[in-house]
Chain A
Amino acid sequence: MAILDVRNLTVDFNLDDGGTLRAVDDSSFTIERGEVMGLVGESGSGKSVTALAIMRLLDSQADITAGQILFDGEDLAAKSEAEMRAIRGRRISMVFQEPMTSLNPAYTVGDQVSEVFRAHFDMGFGESKQRAIEMFERVKIPQPKDTYGKFPHEFSGGMRQRVMIAIALACGPDLLIADEPTTALDVTIQAQVLSVIQDLQRDMGLALLFISHDLEVVAQLCDKVAVMYGARIMEVSESTELFSSPRHPYTDGLLRSIPRRGQPLTPIAGTIFDLRSPPDGCRFHPRCPYAEDRCRREMPELRVVEPVAASTDPGSSGDSGGTGDRRQAACHFPLTGAGAKA
């Protein structure tokens, strides 16, 4: 059984002017135990809202209006606040994008790590302090003992993000949600923090939901990738297959937007639509080079797509029988290979 099974998740925001905005629309995906799944998409595509919905930490303006979030078989969407508190930080943890503001400036980093132990286990100050120092070692913070009594402002962004990781992994959760954990960091620091996450993920057998708009990082880190566009999931695939042969035109466009040496940049034409007035039919059709009449009328469901013909992908056809079933795309006319229709 998958550790996380999100089914038809829908999140609506009640706007101040009385209208509503659908930030996550009928989204489904699963994460197996110990699996790393990437969730990619542009800003505003619904990645962070999906993460916060799983944590049940949405703003008071936002509601989960449909769907289930099955975590280890139990629906988080139906849990009470008290039940969620026992899960947050203990079984599901989250690392946020902004290391500079995510820690409380008024308390030492040591206290902010050790209080997680005190919140979830029957543990005193002495023992929780010991455990916190161990966590600092695990996230490779130099001089873990001295670190305990220091305040967040005494650390760089990279070190603060390590503290955040220490907080998140303190209680040995089953699932870690990392929402753009390295976006705010310098490139060299990014690599260090990523390797800390990757090492601990393997050591602890964590399931990881890695949210990013950085496709390179996702390709390197993730087993599986879900691509979001305009509140909907467009494609779900094994990571290697996604990058070698995208099946959804949006994924294809995303991959072509990555700057590559010697190749012209091909940005996706047009801009993302206003979430308050989504287009009819496929959300991507106004920007899709392959859109046909049906795309403008009918919303494509996320469904399993046929494996690409052996001739376009000879290497993986043999051993990908199982994984091929998991390739899903929300497109009436999925691409049949890299640039097949181009």
Chain B
Amino acid sequence: MLIRYSIRRLLETIPTLFIISVIVFSLVLLIPGDRVLVMLGYSGGDIADVISPEVYAAMEIRLGVHDPIPVQYWRWLSRALQGDLGTSALHSIPVIDIILGRLPATLYLAFASIFFGALLAIPLGVAAAVRQGTWVDRLANGIVLFGLVTPGFWVALMLVLLFGVYLGWLPTIGYTAPQDDFVQFVKHLTLPTIVLGLDFAANLIRFIRTDFLEQMREDYVRTARAKGLSERLVIWKHIFKNSMLATVTVLGFDISRLLGGSTVIETLFAYPGISFLLIQSIFNRDFATVQGVVLFLAMIVIFMNYLADILYALLNPRIRYE
């Protein structure tokens, strides 16, 4: 049943993917000026000085600017499906290679933030609901409020000031691959993880707390207590699984946001992830890369939502039959 459901949901993502591909393809069409020059990263000056006629002709052929737009779209799409997202004008290497090169950094940061956020939010959200009105609840509310009202870049700057500048414990910019130097890797990851993790946790705590309070009033909870189950089982087995149902939906959205990388935070920490790449490419007018990154990010969001749906079906037995 679950397999059939998964396949059906996967097929349902196709229309979304199609629309996104059209939008991404159109991005370049919408940029004013000569599309060939745009894709070559031309940013002013005498054209003859920066771009040779051969390069211009090659891009003209690749884009096929003289063909009808649907033909151009189809050519672009079939290349993209084969992993050919064009060549970066700036780095002169395939865009897909640049993206894949930047992906690990973003993934490490995303998973570290999710892990840190969940580790903080799940016990705190549950405790806030179970001990409503006590200090735990107030602490949780404090974190939620802090996470919601303080912009990430401000928190990031404060952390940089404290741990980077005054205490000098942690590096404030850059990234080290874990295979090169694991300790440095962790150090570089720490501050951005705290910033993104807190933000993620704030949302999650708020959600878990509200949902838990609702679940605690359900009849099945009374049944569980009437069985003589320990409070630990009532909370972490009976209520928790039901509460996760609602939370997974929110998680999917937040996780896809994190996997896309946070533009502000990656830029602030000069952290070489996907989002930082996007910003750099925009500033450098490297449109092939911009196009590739946007397409890639959109696919991540769609895929994560798909995964959240599957997880939801796993947790909620009722959904598979609908």
Q: In whole angstroms, what is the CA distance A119 to B225 when docked?
A: 11
Q: In whole angstroms, what is the CA distance A90 to B316 when docked?
A: 29
Interface status of B218 (Cβ within 8 A of chain A):
yes
Contact B228–A86 (Cβ < 8 Å): yes
With known contacts A151-B318, A153-B317, A153-B318, A105–B220 Cβ distance under 8 A: yes
- Least CB separation from A171: chain B residue: B228
Specify which of A90, A101, A104 is in contact with B228 (CB 8 Å cutoff). A90
Q: In whole angstroms, what is the CA distance A190 to B224 when docked?
A: 24
Bitwise interface map of B from 216 to 228 toward A, beta carbon under 8 Å scored 1, else 0: 0011101111111
Interface status of B238 (Cβ within 8 A of chain A):
yes
Contact B233–A104 (Cβ < 8 Å): no
Interface residues in B, total, Cβ within 8 A: 22
Contact B226–A57 (Cβ < 8 Å): yes
Contact B316–A102 (Cβ < 8 Å): no
Contact A89–B218 (Cβ < 8 Å): no
Bitwise interface map of A from 76 to 117 toward B, beta carbon under 8 Å scored 1, else 0: 000000001111111001101010011111110000000110
CB of A107 to closest CB in B, whole Å: 7
Q: In chain B between 175 and 216, which residues have their CB closer than 8 angstroms to a CB of chain A?
A: none
Chain B residue contacts of A116, Cβ below 8 A: 227-228
Interface status of A202 (Cβ within 8 A of chain B):
no
- Least CB separation from B240: chain A residue: A106
Chain B residue contacts of A104, Cβ below 8 A: 220, 223-224, 238, 241-242
- Least CB separation from B225: chain A residue: A57
With known contacts A88-B225, A106-B316, A153-B317, A119–B241 Cβ distance under 8 A: no
Chain B residue contacts of A98, Cβ below 8 A: 219
Q: In whole angstroms, what is the CA distance A88 to B237 when docked?
A: 18
Interface status of B52 (Cβ within 8 A of chain A):
no
Contact B219–A119 (Cβ < 8 Å): no
- Least CB separation from B242: chain A residue: A106
Interface status of B229 (Cβ within 8 A of chain A):
yes
Q: In whole angstroms, what is the CA distance A151 to B220 when docked?
A: 13
Interface status of B315 (Cβ within 8 A of chain A):
yes
Which of B222, B223, B225, B241 has the most C-beta atoms of chain A within 10 angstroms of its own C-beta? B223
Interface of B is mostly: helix
Interface status of A297 (Cβ within 8 A of chain B):
no
Interface status of A164 (Cβ within 8 A of chain B):
yes
Interface status of A167 (Cβ within 8 A of chain B):
yes
Contact A85–B220 (Cβ < 8 Å): no
Interface status of B230 (Cβ within 8 A of chain A):
yes
With known contacts A105-B242, A106-B242, A153-B318, A85–B229 Cβ distance under 8 A: yes
Interface status of B245 (Cβ within 8 A of chain A):
yes
Chain B residue contacts of A120, Cβ below 8 A: 228
Contact B222–A106 (Cβ < 8 Å): no
Interface status of A193 (Cβ within 8 A of chain B):
no
With known contacts A104-B220, A104-B223, A106-B245, A119–B228 Cβ distance under 8 A: yes
CB of B268 to closest CB in A, whole Å: 41
CB of B313 to closest CB in A, whole Å: 12
Chain A residue contacts of B318, Cβ below 8 A: 105, 151, 153
- Least CB separation from A100: chain B residue: B219
Interface status of A55 (Cβ within 8 A of chain B):
yes
Interface residues in A, total, Cβ within 8 A: 29
Contact A119–B227 (Cβ < 8 Å): yes
Q: In chain B between 76 and 115, which residues have their CB closer than 8 angstroms to a CB of chain A?
A: none
Contact B226–A89 (Cβ < 8 Å): yes
- Least CB separation from B220: chain A residue: A104
Chain B residue contacts of A88, Cβ below 8 A: 225-228
Contact A115–B228 (Cβ < 8 Å): no
Q: In whole angstroms, what is the CA distance A106 to B221 when docked?
A: 12
Chain A residue contacts of B233, Cβ below 8 A: 115, 119
- Least CB separation from B318: chain A residue: A153
Q: In chain B between 213 and 271, which residues have their CB closer than 8 angstroms to a CB of chain A?
A: 218-220, 222-230, 233, 237-238, 241-242, 245
Contact A102–B227 (Cβ < 8 Å): no
With known contacts A106-B242, A106-B245, A153-B317, A94–B230 Cβ distance under 8 A: no
Chain B residue contacts of A119, Cβ below 8 A: 227-230, 233
CB of B318 to closest CB in A, whole Å: 5
Specify which of B218, B228, B317 is in contact with A87 (CB 8 Å cutoff). B228
CB of A213 to closest CB in B, whole Å: 19
Chain A residue contacts of B223, Cβ below 8 A: 96, 102-104, 164, 167
Q: In whole angstroms, what is the CA distance A85 to B316 when docked?
A: 28
Bitwise interface map of A from 140 to 153 toward B, beta carbon under 8 Å scored 1, else 0: 00000000000101
- Least CB separation from A167: chain B residue: B227
- Least CB separation from B223: chain A residue: A102
Chain B residue contacts of A89, Cβ below 8 A: 226-229
CB of B185 to closest CB in A, whole Å: 39
Contact A101–B219 (Cβ < 8 Å): yes
CB of B149 to closest CB in A, whole Å: 29
CB of B213 to closest CB in A, whole Å: 12
Chain A residue contacts of B242, Cβ below 8 A: 104-106
Chain A residue contacts of B241, Cβ below 8 A: 104, 106-107
Contact A101–B226 (Cβ < 8 Å): no
- Least CB separation from A113: chain B residue: B227
10 residue pairs bridging A and B, Cβ less than 8 Å apart: A86-B228, A89-B226, A90-B228, A96-B219, A104-B224, A106-B242, A106-B245, A116-B228, A120-B228, A168-B226
With A101-B220, A102-B223, A106-B315 already in contact, 15 other A-B pairs whose C-beta atoms are closer than 8 Å: A88-B225, A88-B226, A88-B228, A96-B222, A96-B223, A98-B219, A105-B242, A106-B242, A107-B241, A115-B227, A119-B227, A119-B228, A119-B230, A120-B228, A168-B226
The 10 closest A-B pairs by CB, nearest first: A89-B228, A88-B228, A89-B227, A101-B219, A104-B220, A151-B317, A106-B241, A102-B219, A94-B226, A85-B228
Which residues of B does A touch, CB under 8 Å?
Answer: 218-220, 222-230, 233, 237-238, 241-242, 245, 315-318
Which residues of A does B touch, CB under 8 Å?
Answer: 55, 57, 84-90, 93-94, 96, 98, 101-107, 115-116, 119-120, 151, 153, 164, 167-168
